[in-house]
Amino acid sequence: MTQEDFVTVVALLFLLGAVTGPARADAGDAPEYPKMALSNGLVEIEVYLPDAQIGFYRGTRFDWAGVMGRATFRGHTFFGELKEQHDPVGHDHAAGPVEEFSMFDPPGFSEAAEGEPFIKIGVGLLKKEGEAYEFWRQYEIVRPAERLHEVSKDGRSITFRESLRNERGWSYEYEKKLELVRGRPKLKIIHTLRNTGKRTIDTDHYNHTMFMIDGRPIGREYSIEFPFDPTGEIKDKEKAELRGRQL
């Protein structure tokens, strides 16, 4: 990626589902992490705010912006803590439609010597450990990215702004907006990544939706109906089964 903006839009529809089985109990004495509520009158979402000291998610894998504790629609809840014991620095202890940049080779990792910094967009500047990058490893954070956030006046959207400047020729500005569409049960996630440095940023990006409905962990109660004939192979047949258009 060069100086041009890299913009993607992800639209998530909240689909009403029914599941059975025991719900996960509330955490009770769990710590209170900084968060913000958004609503469009139909859907309400709870968004955790990035914070290097007291944030809900402080791992070095996923983008700190846009982690959601809960979404509520027609009396049902979506998302939530998937782990019974939450660890803020656990690489997969995030929640909601979390996202990751550069899952396999972050900018600057390959050329950095042991102990030197590399870039993880969505997190900041990390310290290299080992010859190969491992997304599940908790790397030491040399310096978190600079961050600001702004909530719209109508309370339907929040915009996160992140920047990292002058690190061996790398600089970027990253903006991520969560917006509940007016009058619809729909959430938009809009990204803008701008390269402001002299080095080429070669990255990839994906959304890793961590969800559960009404506090019930993923299990046999869940099924997915496709509007088409799915193809492919299920790697772990003990965990999932494909029956026609139903998974």
Q: Give residue-wise pLDDT tens across range 41-78.
A: 999 999 999 999 999 999 999 999 999 999 999 999 99
> Is pLDDT above 70 for 162?
yes
Buried b (16+ CB within 10 A) or exposed e, 44-74: bbbbbbbbeeebbbbbbbbbbbbbbbbbbee
Residue 20: which residues within 8 A CB-CB, separation 6 or more?
Answer: 216, 221
- Is 239 exposed, middle or buried, given 0-12, 13-18 or 19+ CB atoms closer than 10 A? exposed
Residue 27: per-residue pLDDT: 46
Span 108-128, pLDDT tens digits: 999 999 999 999 999 999 999
Under the banding of pLDDT at 50, 70 and 90, the label for residue 24 is: low
> Is pLDDT above 80 for 232?
yes
Residues 40, 61 contacting (CB under 8 angstroms): no
Residue 12: per-residue pLDDT: 47
Q: Looking at 81-85, 93-97, 192-196, which range is the least confident one? A: 81-85
Span 168-179, pLDDT tens digits: 899 999 999 999
Residue 238: per-residue pLDDT: 84
Residue 3: per-residue pLDDT: 42
> Is pLDDT above 80 for 18?
no
Residue 151: per-residue pLDDT: 98
User: Which whole number is the average pLDDT over 96-102?
Assistant: 96
Specify the pTM. Answer: 0.84
> Is pLDDT above 60 for 15?
no
